Amino acid sequence: MFSRFRPKIVLEGYWKFKLDPNKKGEEEGWFNGLRTGDLIYVPSSWNEQRPQWDQYMGVAWYENEFFVPKEYDGMRVWLTFEGVSYKAKVWLNGEFLGEHEGAFTQFKLNADKAVKFGDYNKLIVEVDNTLTKKNVPPGEGMNNTYFDFFHYGGIFRPVYVEFTNPDYIEDLTVITDHKGLLKVDITVVGEGRLIVKLTLVDDEGREVYSKSVEVKKGKATIDDHVSGVKPWSPEEPNLYTLRASLIKDNEVKDMVEENIGFRSVAVRNGRLYLNDRPIFLKGVGRHEDFPVTGKYLPGAVLIRDFYLMKELGMNSFRTSHYPYSNAHLDLADKLGFLVILESPMVGAREEHFTDREYIEKVKRMIEEMIKQHKNRPSVIMYSVANEPRSNVETAYDFIKELCDHVKKLDPTRPVTFASMFHTEDKALEAVDVISLNIYLGWYKYPGEIDEGVREAERILDKVHEMYPDKPILITEFGAGAVSGFHHDPPVMWSEEYQAEFIRKYIEMLKRKEYIIGMHIWNFADFRTPQSARRVILNRKGLFTRTRQPKLAVKIVKEEFNKIPTFLE
């Protein structure tokens, strides 16, 4: 949900910055103002902005100021943080506004009591990226993570101040189908007689639908049918702007917008359907990772990535291994990508499966993820976890509880998780779609592509035999290649080995009728913790970290462009 109606101040730029390794800041009242000459850029992770901060894990403080015009007096004031890694505490003009845990979901704090109109306002944020076994995802240190990507810290996604009328629209939940169903649940905060007017505008600015409803006890609902809509699909990502205006005494008090698409998703007869047609997912697992900006992908990089994916014949990706930024997923909606939206629950171990407090935390993050992205046509499936240690019995209840939680919040989309245990996995019964990460010919059978692919085929057939009604998606397969390293014959880490590995896997996978898609691991090289297995980066990218192609790109382009999106 976004608004072009509400005044907004975007806090992008240089902020004051101060490390607090001994955690003295709160005691010493740093929330009143920071004594520091250090600067940092927001949005971006702190680590690569200065070599001294690269391996820093712990508490750091941020400060910025913004001016609020006098004319805004009487409006409500909200601060939105789209992503802070990992915990945040926020003060405005010395007053505590609230806190949040979890790097990858946005949070909004009210600042009505603390704000000063017609004056400068001092915003201070305490950020803590200490990694513990209780974090989601968990770990024990910068180079002892239970996940295979660099543990960045900081305010790495946009921050803004937004002003609303005291009567305002709090939330829209939109459900559509490809035939024109339009169901909208509107939540409103306000007093007196309030009307919500919904209008639907097509990409040429034509109003194709309009209806007004009265708000009762803060709620209004529309359950209708719009005739003549153009469905949303990867081939034609038709978007409509759903505009909701809040009207009181014949005056518009608030207006919000949502880009929506008319499309339906279903799993039946072992297949995945989009708009009642069986579909095949061709794509990658990605990461939000870039030199210097860390976990922030600037808009220009995103544009490059999406055009590269399109050129390679891709129609899909997974937000491995956490919910991505709004800007990232906006492009998926606009350019027609089928997204598997993954929760930040990577690397759960046995100790997590029965830890009630931990499970509730994961569920809270899943709830925030769904609230933030539920109206996106691009999101066709949720993944509740990546590679939990799901070869033990207790994994089933853990995964089942997360899947049920998702279904309760959003019954319209299928649910999955990415498994590394295949036939040994104890939780596959809980999902709609089985997702498997496979590395035979790399970690197992190193140097033996043919043997790896043969064994992968045997395992896949076996999983299919065990769960004949469930479609199977390959969420990861791939091999590392150091860009510029060539070798004949193809040996591990050479560009030739990666290209050959991917070609042989694609050939095998596309022959299996129970497979509904394949995602290559990974779109681009990405930074990892330091380890004996990695040279700074995970090298399984089709592209380098700065988006230059490796040899495998040619193969993927040829192969993927031959596979149609719709199977019939």
> Would you please indicate which residues are annotated as catalytic (active-site) residues?
387, 476
The position carrying tokens 């929330």 is 31
CB of 313 to ligand ADA, least distance (A): 23
Which of 63, 342 has the CB closer to ligand ADA?
Answer: 342
Compute the least distance from the CB of residue 519 to ligand ADA, in Å. 11
Smallest gap from residue 148 Cβ to ligand ADA (A): 3
Whole-angstrom Cα distance, residue 353 to residue 527? Answer: 28
Q: What is the DSSP string of 407-466?
A: HHH-TTS-EEEEES-GGG-S-GGG-SSEEEEE-BTTTBSTT-HHHHHHHHHHHHHHHHHH
* Contact set for ligand ADA, span 221-240 (CB under 6 A): none
Interacting positions 504-533 with ligand ADA (CB under 6 A): 521
| Binder among 437, 483, 494, 565 for ligand ADA (CB under 6 A) | 437
Q: Which is nearer to ligand ADA, 75 or 420 (CB)?
A: 420
Q: Which residue has the tokens 């508490």?
A: 59
Q: Which residue is nearest to ligand ADA (CB)?
A: 148
Cβ atoms of residues 117 and 75 within 8 Å: no
Nearest alpha-carbon partner for 353 in 404, 390, 382, 301: 390
Q: Which of residues 470-499 bind ligand ADA (CB under 6 A)?
A: 476
Q: How far is the CB of 141 from ligand ADA (least distance, A)?
A: 18
The number of angstroms, rounded, from the C-alpha of 448 to the middle of its chain's C-alpha atoms is: 34
User: Is residue 538 part of the contact set for ligand ADA (CB under 6 A)?
Assistant: yes
Does 464 bind ligand ADA (CB under 6 A)? Our answer is no
Least separation, in Å, of the C-beta of 542 and ligand ADA? 13
User: What is the helix (H) or strand (E) element at residue 396, kind and residue range?
Assistant: helix 394-409
Residue with Cβ nearer ligand ADA (296 or 521)? 521
Instruction: Please check whether residue 168 is in contact with residue 211, taking contact to mean a CB–CB distance below 8 angstroms.
Output: no
Instruction: Pick between residue 77 and residue 420 the one whose CB is nearest to ligand ADA.
Output: 420
422 binds ligand ADA (CB under 6 A): no
Task: Give the H/E segment covering residue 473.
Answer: strand 472-477
158 closest CA partner among 123, 90, 107, 121 = 107
Q: Is 387 in the site for ligand ADA (CB under 6 A)?
A: yes
Amino acid identity of 180?
G
User: Contact 566/275 with Cβ under 8 angstroms?
Assistant: no
Query: What's the closest the beta carbon of residue 203 comes to ligand ADA, in angstroms?
Result: 37
Q: Yes or no: say if 292 and 49 are a contact pair by the CB < 8 Å rule.
A: yes
Nearest distance in Å: CB 140, ligand ADA:
17
Question: Would you give the DSSP letter of residue 6?
Answer: S
Closer residue to ligand ADA (CB): 257 or 342: 342
495, 552 Cβ separation under 8 angstroms: yes
Helix (H, G, I), strand (E, B) or coil at 209: strand
Residue 132: Cβ within 10 Å count: 10
For residue 413, give the amino acid letter. R
Given candidates 20, 63, 148, 333, which one binds ligand ADA under the rule CB under 6 A? 148
Quote the least distance from Cβ 544 to ligand ADA, whole Å: 16
SS3 of 24, please? coil
CB nearer ligand ADA, residue 447 or residue 564: 447
CB of 34 or CB of 518, closer to ligand ADA = 518
Residues near ligand ADA (CB under 6 A), total: 10
CB-nearer residue toward ligand ADA: 302 or 479: 479
Q: How far is the CB of 437 from ligand ADA (least distance, A)?
A: 4
Q: Which is nearer to ligand ADA, 85 or 528 (CB)?
A: 528
The size of the chain, in residues, is: 568
Rg value, the chain, Cα: 24
Residues 367-386 close enough to bind ligand ADA by CB under 6 A: 386
Q: How far, in Å, are 29, 61, 91 from residue 26 at the CA level? A: 5, 10, 11
Please tell me the distance from the alpha carbon of residue 383 to that of residue 392, in angstroms, as a whole number: 19
Question: What is the contact mask toward ligand ADA in residues 312 to 351, using x (rule: CB under 6 A)?
Answer: ---------x------------------------------
Q: Which residues touch 565 (CB under 8 Å, ≥6 apart)?
A: 233, 234, 235, 279, 280, 282, 315
What is the distance between the alpha carbons of residues 364 and 431, in angstroms, rounded to a whole number? 20
Nearer to ligand ADA, 147 or 262 (CB): 147
Q: Out of 87, 263, 540, 550, which residue is the one contacting ligand ADA (CB under 6 A)?
A: 540
* Residues 58-117 close enough to bind ligand ADA by CB under 6 A: none
Residue 450 near residue 507, CB atoms below 8 Å: no
Beta carbon of residue 438, minimum distance to ligand ADA (angstroms, whole number): 9
By CB under 6 A, name the binding residues for ligand ADA.
Answer: 148, 321, 386-387, 420, 437, 476, 521, 538, 540
